[in-house]
Amino acid sequence: MLLSLIVLIPTHTPVSLAVSIALVAMIGIVFTIIVLVGLARASISDTADRLGYGVCPLAAYLAMLVAAELIASSPVVSADVLAGALLVLLAVNIRNAWDLMLAFARRVGTQSPGYLKHDPEKACPGLDPGWGPVFGRDHAQTKIRAESRLNEISPRSNAAAYSAALNWGPYS
């Protein structure tokens, strides 16, 4: 994506465009070599991971270097090589994102259910009849109770009685 933005800059000369592409390709090559060394040290026997995280990105970044060198002599071929390299990187990144998502899903699926501890305040007696309510019925006041106290006040009562029924105001 960074390279796509760099290529869209309208004031590039062929030399500045070639240098920009080569710089991005060199950074990608260094990073991919670091990843390849890590894969070689790890006990990963999956060929798809070695291709997806190492070999294919390295080939794409090398193709980007070739495209940078071809800009001056053959700009049409250079654009095609660059487009192919970017498409390979896009496909590899989609594959790697999917692989990581599956790895995280497997890790969560194999974790012990100890992290799902019972919280008595979140108990739902209707759906789980084996558990009783944590608090009694009088634990929290409801709006219905305040309204029922309002109904007990006669229409001729004063503001102090009304405020006391709602538990607010200067008279409560």
Range 128-156 burial, b when 16+ CB lie within 10 A, else e: eeeeeeeeeeeeeeeeeeeeeeeeeeeee
CB 32 within 8 A of CB 61: yes
Which of 54, 82, 107 is the C-terminal boundary of a domain?
107
Q: For residue 36, what are the domain limits? A: 2-107
Q: Say if residues 70 and 78 touch (Cβ distance below 8 Å).
A: yes
Q: At what angle do helices 159-166 and 143-152 cross, to 10 degrees?
A: 160
CB count, 10 Å around CB of 32? 20
Has residue 135 been placed in a domain?
Answer: no
In terms of domains, do 32 and 98 share one?
yes
pTM of the model: 0.61
Confirm whether 12 is domain-assigned.
yes
64 lies in a domain?
yes
pLDDT tens string, the chain, 172 residues long: the values are 788 888 888 888 999 999 999 999 999 999 999 998 888 888 766 888 888 888 999 999 999 999 999 998 999 999 999 999 999 999 999 999 999 898 888 887 666 555 555 555 665 555 555 555 566 666 665 555 555 555 555 554 455 555 555 555 454 4
